[in-house]
Amino acid sequence: MISVQTFGGPTALFEYGGLRFLTDPTFDEPGDYVSPSGTTLTKLAPSAGKPDELGPIDAVLLSHDQHADNLDDSGRALLAEVPLTLTTPDGAQRLGGTARGLAPWESITLGAVTVTAVPARHGPEGCEPITGEVTGFVLTSDDQPPVYVSGDNASLERVEEIAAKFGPVGTALIFAGAVRTGLFDGALLTLDSAQAAEAARILGAQQIVLVHFNSWAHFTEGHDALVEAFTAAGLADRVQLD
């Protein structure tokens, strides 16, 4: 198991292979935020920490840059201070600076760690022209089991593809929350609680860290629904929710 610190929303800090990684940085105060995509999202609770309390970060793993609940104003400022941000090819073009885009299944080696971008889909089939590119990540190292970071993903088929190549994984950071907006007749834009549990089962994850289920108004399933789903799946003893 690895140590993972969560901050609310999709933001988590963990160390793997001697490097420190941060997922989707969001540290702004509660309020309404207009995303670069034009969507207005409402943050309900402050983050459990500040950027200046993080210590050194070797790389940010950014699912996508086009929604404020995955990259906010303070997160963008933080990117200027870190040596590397890994994200989608489109996102890297928009962000510039130290951002590097990885296409699905493309890898980069950082010290003893190989980071591979893996497929994710932010909604139903064919959603990309509306929701944009998103990515997940798998981290591998010779002396540790893999780590999976889902990013904003609503597709269990994508999870099955990833498990076939990298499973079983040691740790799965799964973005949950059952996000629904007015898009696609209310279809899920991220996994719901039962699907998150099924994703963990597919991956064979020994450690499950659930993020992206609190702090924002568009999450439709939170802590209690996740506890219920993972208990029903017999996986509650592997889960970190805090």
What are 159-204's pLDDT values in tens digits? 999 999 999 999 999 999 887 776 667 677 789 999 999 999 999 9
What confidence score (pLDDT) does residue 128 get? 76
Q: Which domain holds residue 200?
A: 4-240
Q: How confident is the model at residue 154 (pLDDT cuts 50, 70, 90)?
A: confident
How do residues 60-104 score in pLDDT, each as one tens digit? 999 999 989 999 999 999 999 999 999 999 999 999 999 999 999
Residue 111 above 70 pLDDT?
yes
| CATH number, position 218 | 3.60.15.10
CA distances from 134 to 32, 89, 241 (A): 22, 9, 23
Number of domains in the chain: 1
Partners of residue 38 on adjacent β-strands: none
What's the confidence (pLDDT) of residue 184? 65
Q: What is the mean pLDDT of residues 37-43?
A: 83
**In sequence order, what are the residues at sequence separation of 6 or more whose Cβ sits closer than 8 angstroms to the Cβ of residue 135?**
63, 64, 87, 88, 102, 104, 117, 118, 119, 120, 151
What average pLDDT does the chain have?
Answer: 92
pTM of this structure:
0.94
Higher-confidence residue of 17 and 185: namely: 17
Of 127 and 71, the one with more pLDDT: 71
pLDDT of residue 115: 98
Report the pLDDT value the prediction gives residue 41, as an integer from 0 to 100.
87
